[in-house]
Structure 1
Amino acid sequence: MAENSIISVAVHDLRKGPDDFQVVLGKSDLGVTAPVQRVVDQLHTLYGRRTAKSHGKFDEDEDNYPTQRHLRQYLEAEFKDFGALTEALMRTLAVNAQTKAAATGGHVFFAHFQRDGKHYLMVAIVGDALSAALTKQHDVTDVTHLDINGFRFAGRINISGWTSEEDRYIGFLKGKGNVAEYFRAFLGCTDHVQEKTDTRMLVAALKSFADQQGFDHKAKTTFLAKAKEICDRAARTRVEISFDTLTNELAPEDPDTLRDHLADPHLRLNDLFIPNRAILNTLVRFKGHTDNWTLEFDRRAIEEGDVTFDNEKQTLTLKNLPEELTVRLNSEYGDG
């Protein structure tokens, strides 16, 4: 069974004229042939690998950002009129493209599919590319094909996440400059960049990567400490951290594996944000408290034997206590 179980696929054209954009309707219900399945799978895979993504949710202003309204009508019709949905979305796309002089047209692919039990709508603008082919007579001739690898604008709406009121259910490629803003506006997405939330999610992703790679405790401590150093530098200088910068410095021998992990759409990580320094501390520090005590220590304390955790008894043993603490404890509770 295909990883992406396609429900509906449509393709239309957005053409840029001298004064405006024109919508040229194509097919609103493409048959799920092997080539169609392959194109959808490729687009989804390539989208997943792109690092410069942002995530958010629908803007509440449905008059100016009507995509949510169109999708709700499609949902209420039990997913039965994909043509009406995509034609309405094309009109919205054309209106938003008109706001950016540098915006370009292309073939607009819409795919509604299920993956891991969840419904998704993916939209990608794909251009054409020129290549060469051999004829039966062994002549070389020009052929035009879809430039799947070169798409610049794409987004994915987690329909199931939207209906269950998750915080982040829209993802899109941020692109360079502000040209991609029209595509974000077309999706109706409120760009959801919050430093604490984004940093907390990045910390969790880095920890899960270390676990998936089977790092031992020492290697994990080294990896997370290096990650904190890189991110903390960005936070101090108020420079947005990018996945490319982070992975190239953190894992120079194999940045692609870490980059693919961070770019996984299911993690819903925002790229390019200024990390929160307080949250970054959780990469290398443990902290806890009760009504009677507060405790905070670095991962290195476990590696160096200053702190011992007994998993069975769920207890911690502290060694090498600071002299001022032992003096005070001895004065209060010592035998002498």
Structure 2
Amino acid sequence: MSISNLIVHEIQKNEGERKAVLIARPSENPIDDQAEVLSAQVTSLFNRSGMSTGRFANPQGSDEGAQLPSLLMTYFKENAFTDFSGFTKVCAADFLKYLEPVEEAGGGLLWFNHFELHGTHFLYIVMLKRKQGIGLGSDLSLSQVEQIEMEKLHMSLRINLSAWQSGDEGRYISFRLGRAPKFESDYFTQFIGCDEPKVTAKETRKLVDLTSAFCQAEGFPAKQANEFKKLVSEQCQAKAQDNEPLAMKDIAAQVESRFSVEQANKFLEIADSDSFKMEKEMFVEKAALKKLTRISGSTRALTLSFDSDLLGESVVFDADSGTLTIKDLPKTLLKQLQSMSN
């Protein structure tokens, strides 16, 4: 990741009050070792689970509604900001308009970071908070110091500027709201001007169900279905690792190469049906992929989970009686059971 521009502004606002004050930094922060470290920490936190995605409701900008797309149209030209400091100051002032009416909300630090990764330009806008910590002086004395809280992100967004500028119809905005209460998530999404935000985990679960529905519609035997699900899972994992969106046509291409053109078209038909209405591109969340390759269930007294490719092999299901027969038990479990039977 190559950082092009970086600046931090402060918004001072007490919870329970409406008045907010913008303390704008006059010029960009230097891109030094501290900036690189903080940027890496922000990226690591951002890429954790719980992301949502979307696009601008009005990507060309307008006089009404969210001003962020209009500001980008004005300041971002040919993969560079004409005046990054000026852009962020106007953007932060616009953020205040959405923040001030919400009495319950507090202020914080607005972090703006324009960077390039693999030839693609991105913009982070992140709300960071301060916290009290303990410092150790040169004489080994203890004192209270103010730090940036980096255990979690409160509100944050990342815009794929290259995709937005090219007129891409995909979901080029990713954002995290952490555990922010609804009043905060509402004003933040209004500030972004995001159209129909999608929760990544929910969309990934839809993809899991779509894959199962396709296998069932084609009448795949268990082994063939498990192999295909594993292939989809691996493709999703690779995209998630690179923080790139997964395209439905990429999965359809896998269907075509392994089966036929007709079946690839069938997959896309099911994906576009009223039951799923999948986006052409989507970001995936690793944790939500488990059901592609694992079968699990639990009650208050029992938890059972195993790889789906074991079904029909060391795990046998009898549909008539609704029972599972498990062979090749783990050695530790087998020893426990044998000792209890003696």
Q: Same fold (TM over 0.5)?
A: yes
In structure 2, relative to structure 1, the CA distance for the partners of 1:156 and 1:84 (3 Å cut) is same
Q: 1:201: how far off?
A: 7.6
Q: 1:14 to 1:220 in 2, by over 3 A?
A: farther
Counterparts in 2 of 1:15 and 1:194: CA distance versus 1, 3 Å: closer
Unaligned runs of 5+ in 2: 213-221, 248-254, 264-292, 294-307, 313-342
1:173 matched to 2:173: no
Does the 8 Å contact 2:11/2:107 carry over to 1? yes
1:110 paired residue number? 112
Displacement after TM superposition at 1:151 (Å): 2.4
> Hey, what's the Cα distance between the residues in 1 that align with 2:84 and 2:133?
33
Residue 149 of structure 1 pairs with residue 154 of structure 2: no
One-letter code aligned to 2:32: T
What CA deviation, in whole Å up to 9, does each residue of 1:132-190 have, x standing for no partner?
A: 12222222111111112232111001000101222211111134441212111112211
Matching residue's letter, 1:155 = L
CA distance in 1, matches of 2:43, 2:227: 34
For 2:126 and 2:160, locate their aligned partners in 1 and report how far apart those are by CA, in whole Å. 15
Residues 46-85 of structure 1 correspond to what in structure 2 (within 5 A)? 46-49=45-48, 51-60=49-58, 62=62, 63-76=64-77, 78-85=80-87
The one-letter amino acid of 1:72's match is M
2:42 is matched with which residue?
43
User: Between the two proteins, what is the percent identity of the paired residues?
Assistant: 22
Using a 3 Å threshold, how does the CA distance of structure 1 residues 98 and 118 change in structure 2: closer, same or farther? same
Relative to structure 1, the CA distance from residue 121 to residue 287 in structure 2 (aligned partners, 3 Å threshold; closer, same or farther) is: same
Q: Deviations over 1:98-118 (max 9, x none)?
A: 243332210111000001110
Note if contact 1:154-1:173 (Cα within 8 Å) is conserved in structure 2. Answer: yes
Judged with a 3 Å threshold, the aligned counterparts in structure 2 of structure 1 residues 192 and 165 are, in CA distance, closer, same or farther, namely farther
Taking a change above 3 Å as real, the CA distance of residues 5 and 153 of structure 1, as seen in their structure-2 partners, is same
User: Which residue in 2 is equivalent to 1:221?
Assistant: 226
Note if contact 1:74-1:80 (Cα within 8 Å) is conserved in structure 2. Answer: yes
Aligned ranges for residues 109-148 of structure 1 at < 5 Å?
A: 109-148=111-150
- Structure 1 gaps of 5+ residues are 208-216, 228-249, 251-257, 270-281, 291-298, 305-336
- Amino acid in structure 2 at the alignment position of 1:44: T
The residue type paired with residue 185 of structure 2 is A
Contact 2:66–2:191 under 8 Å retained in 1: yes
| Equivalent in the alignment of 1:32 | 31
Offset at residue 87 of structure 1 (A): 0.7
User: Could you tell me how far apart the structure 1 residues matched to 2:209 and 2:3 are?
Assistant: 31
Q: Which residue of 1 aligns with 2:20?
A: 21
* Of 166, 176, 194, the match for 1:189: 194
The secondary structure found in structure 1 opposite 2:76 is helix
Q: Distance in 2 between matches of 1:259 and 1:20?
A: 45
Preserved contact between residue 18 and residue 101 of structure 2 (Cα < 8 Å): no
Distance 1:143 1:194, change over 3 A: closer
Work out the CA distance in 2 between the residues paired with 1:205 and 1:79: 41
Q: Provide closer, same or farther for how the CA distance between residues 158 and 289 of structure 1 changes in structure 2, counting only shifts above 3 A.
A: closer
CA RMSD of aligned residues (A): 4.2
Amino acid at match of 2:187: Y
Please list, as runs of the form range in 1=range in 2, the aligned pairs for 1:152-163 lying within 5 A after superposition.
152-163=154-165
**TM-score, normalised relative to structure 1:** 0.60
The letter of the residue matching 2:81 is F
Please report how far the alpha carbon of residue 22 of structure 1 lies from its aligned counterpart in structure 2 after TM superposition: 1.5
State the Cα distance separating 1:218 from its structure 2 match: 5.8
Alpha carbons 2:11, 2:108 under 8 Å: kept: yes
Deviation at 1:74, TM superposition (A): 1.1
Amino acid at match of 2:3: I
Letter in 2 for 1:160: S
- Give the direction of change, closer, same or farther, for the CA distance of 1:76–1:267 in structure 2 (3 Å limit): closer
Confirm or deny: 8 A CA contact 1:206 1:224 kept in the other structure. Answer: yes
Deviation at 1:259, TM superposition (A): 9.5
SS at 2:66 equivalent? coil
Which residue is equivalent to 1:310? none
**Contact 1:48/1:263 (8 A) holds in 2:** no
Residue-pair matches, total: 238
